[in-house]
Amino acid sequence: MAGPLPLGDPAPADGRLPADLPTSAETPFSAYLHIPFCRVRCGYCDFNTYTSGELRGAKQEDYASTLIGEIALARTVLDEAGALRPMDTVFFGGGTPTLLPAGDLARMLGAATAAFGLAPGAEVTVEANPDTVTPEVARILAEAGVTRLSIGMQSAVPHVLAALDRTHRPENVRTAVAAAKEAGLAVSVDLIYGAPGETLADWEASLDAALALESDHISAYALIVEDGTKLARQIRRGEVPTPDDDLQADMYELADERLAAAGFEWYEVSNWARSEGQRSRHNLAYWRGSDWWGFGPGAHSHVAGLRWWNVKHPAAYAQRLAAASSPAAGRERPDLEARTLERILLVSRIREGIAVTDVPEQNRGRVAGLIADGLIDAAAAIRGRVQLTLRGRLLADAVVRELTD
């Protein structure tokens, strides 16, 4: 399970937004539907997820109906605030959304579409474990309006999957991708690099396997050791080594080289797509600060600068909604300084970068030094944009610190 929720102000029981919130029906709107169920907890994961033995007081088979209750609440709240608008993107994340019957996912999507509507050409993504995707599942999802499947491949090397506590069979990635394509769905595959015992040759094998799938999009994330996870405890006890930063940098450079050679273009530090139209529009909505409502236990939402987050456990979440109460545990309204920091942190990671004028005025003189260090593209800076170089992507956090401290 994830760590503690953020501290914040109490959230009203009716979920109502502040009367002075500058909502706009013109701002893009997205929906995130959190499915908090997993068969096995991966050792590196700190997401708000639960195995069957941890669901005290909640039933997986009731989950779709419970979440639909929050959808009804959201429609009322947004309508009252003058912020009701169609969804540009929808994302089912987890956990493992495809542990639920495909019909349950379809029912939740149908309820959200009935409540808010779908914008023309909306992107609707479902995350999936390779072992849970069959032609029938893919067909049901496509018929329900899903447009994209994001498949958790992580690695093609058995000992790396074992180190990550991933239980899927590597060969099932290919069958899952084939089922998705047959149903007419776009496909993304997710990879993780830097697992204990993973070599550069192992990583190259996983990249080769991912490219052979001929997917539309590939995400590659460096393994991060999160406090409170099994992996963190293993490292603390000396059972496995801490991820090697230099090796991870080599792995990132190899990924960028191989993916570019195969026709993929990076558009965010950890994401590559074959074309601009195949980028994850849902993730771009987060990075660009659009509005979204996060449904489900532990989910976070953002509307017009207001942020709130739901209670974590599925049982507490269900109890709130059964009592006709908002499941929000708390909320906050960050000040201008905090919003500026967050904007630079997120937008600077995108290929298009951030405008120099969006950097605090007192820090704009540091851009020249970042160019000299090879972290920011000089030609882009002349055009008024802060855009990361390959070296800058490897040191993105350092660039953000330089622009905001």
C-alpha–C-alpha distance, residues 76 and 84, integer Å: 9
For residue 274, CA distances in Å to 211, 262, 353 come to: 11, 9, 19
Structure tokens at 280: 């994850």
pLDDT(3) > 70: no
Sign of CA dihedral 318, 324, 327, 330: negative
pLDDT(1) > 60: no
Res 169: pLDDT:
87
For residue 340, CA distances in Å to 88, 225, 359 come to: 25, 27, 8
pLDDT band at 54 (very low <50, low <70, confident <90, very high): confident
Q: Span 29-287: which CATH code?
A: 3.20.20.70
Helices 314-322 and 63-80 cross at an angle (nearest 10°) of 60
C-alpha–C-alpha distance, residues 174 and 177, integer Å: 5
Res 5: pLDDT:
79
Give the mean pLDDT of 170-185.
97
Closest CA to 180 of 233, 216, 224, 142: 142
| Domain definitions of the chain by residue range | 29-287, 335-405
Res 402: pLDDT:
96
Res 223: pLDDT:
96
In degrees, to the nearest 5, what angle opens at C-alpha 208 toward C-alphas 202 and 209?
Answer: 90
Phi-psi region of 197 (alpha: psi -120 to 50; beta: other; left: phi over 0): left
How is residue 390 annotated by DSSP? Answer: H
Under 8 Å between Cβ of 254 and 203: yes
pLDDT band at 271 (very low <50, low <70, confident <90, very high): very high
User: Of 77-91, 136-150, 160-174, 373-387, where does mean pLDDT reach its minimum?
Assistant: 160-174
Closest CA to 292 of 150, 121, 90, 18: 90
> pTM here?
0.96
Give the mean pLDDT of 249-269.
98
Tell me which residue has tokens 């052979």: 212
pLDDT digits (tens, 9 = 90+) for 95-126: 999 999 999 999 999 999 999 999 999 999 99
pLDDT band at 51 (very low <50, low <70, confident <90, very high): confident
Mean pLDDT of the chain: 96
Res 204: pLDDT:
98
Q: Is 65 helix (H, G, I), strand (E, B) or coil?
A: helix
Res 52: pLDDT:
78
pLDDT band at 371 (very low <50, low <70, confident <90, very high): very high
Give the mean pLDDT of 157-184.
95
Give the mean pLDDT of 319-336.
97
C-alpha–C-alpha distance, residues 311 and 402, integer Å: 35
CA of residue 383 relative to chain centroid, distance:
30
Give the mean pLDDT of 226-230.
91
pLDDT(56) > 90: no
Res 2: pLDDT:
60
Res 156: pLDDT:
97
C-alpha–C-alpha distance, residues 233 and 196, integer Å: 13
57 φ/ψ angles, rounded to the nearest 5 degrees: 85, 5
Res 131: pLDDT:
94
Structure tokens at 359: 């950097």
Res 384: pLDDT:
97
